[in-house]
Amino acid sequence: MRYIMIFVGKWYLGFQSTSKDVTYKIYSLAVELFFLWMTQQTLISIIIFRDCPERATELICYYIQYTNSNICSFLSKRDKMKLIYNYIIDYELTHLDPVTAHIYLEYAKLNRKVVKFFLLLTAVAGTIWYVLVVKDTFAANCIGACTLQKGLNFQIWYPFDLYNKCYGITLVVDIMFYISAVSVHIFNKISPVSFMIFILGQIKILQEMIRNLQDIDNKDILKAIIACIKKHQEVIRYFLKAYLCKYSKIM
């Protein structure tokens, strides 16, 4: 979620201390590694439950979706994308002036509202889905020829027969799998939307700079035009090229 928060303004991060930043990075890495591991566990489960078509089909759908999420997360960590993220982190401190500050803050507020809306929507919809699926496992003993593990959302294979011997551990892993899947899903879905809103804000700033050219003296007009050209190059170099680099390979 750190990169999403960058788009809505650095002040919204809340990780000004080194200890908090390190703690968050460890947490973020743990979520991603756990999600990657459970995705591969889903692949193993497809092989284990190959004699159960209903279960295997469900797991194949999960595996395709979660593999796509892992790929998206991997692409967001490439060096080209990191340059963009680092630029956005420092944008507020290095690029704001009285003319453009109000435009930037306006789009930052819009971005914040969009992020909150998607977070709330995903959290509510995901929780309802999780509860309903778990409820169905108690209502039915099996789906087709497949025995259901009661109280679990993800009907996957666990080593060492954890379901029968250590149900508590299995339940915790199931909940953690859901939380990690939702976290990665939110990042991958919100980041392109938030990215586009940030780009729109930069284009709006460029439009304002061009609009102000008519109020500039002739002796300063050349400098103002050069500033507009540099701003246009900045938008192309730091945003559009990186955006296409990441998301054109996904969408």
Tokens at residue 19, please?
């200890």
Q: How far apart are CA 152 and CA 46, in angstroms?
A: 17
Sole residue written with tokens 């995705």: 39
Q: Identify the pLDDT of residue 241.
A: 61
Provide the domain count of the chain: 1
Going 33 to 36 to 40 to 45, the CA torsion angle's sign is positive
Q: How far apart are CA 198 and CA 247, in angstroms?
A: 15
Q: Tell me the per-residue pLDDT of 200-218, one tens digit each, with 9 for 90 and over.
A: 888 888 888 777 777 777 7
Q: Show the low-confidence residues of the chain (pLDDT under 70).
A: 1-17, 21, 92-93, 95, 99, 140-145, 160-164, 238-251
- Domain that includes residue 51, residue range: 2-247
Please give the share of the chain, as a percent, with pLDDT higher than 70. Answer: 80
Judge residue 72's burial from the number of C-beta atoms within 10 Å of its C-beta, 0-12 exposed, 13-18 middle, 19 or more buried. buried
Q: Identify the pLDDT of residue 43.
A: 92
Q: Tell me the per-residue pLDDT of 98-116, one tens digit each, with 9 for 90 and over.
A: 767 788 888 888 888 888 8
Q: Identify the pLDDT of residue 249.
A: 46
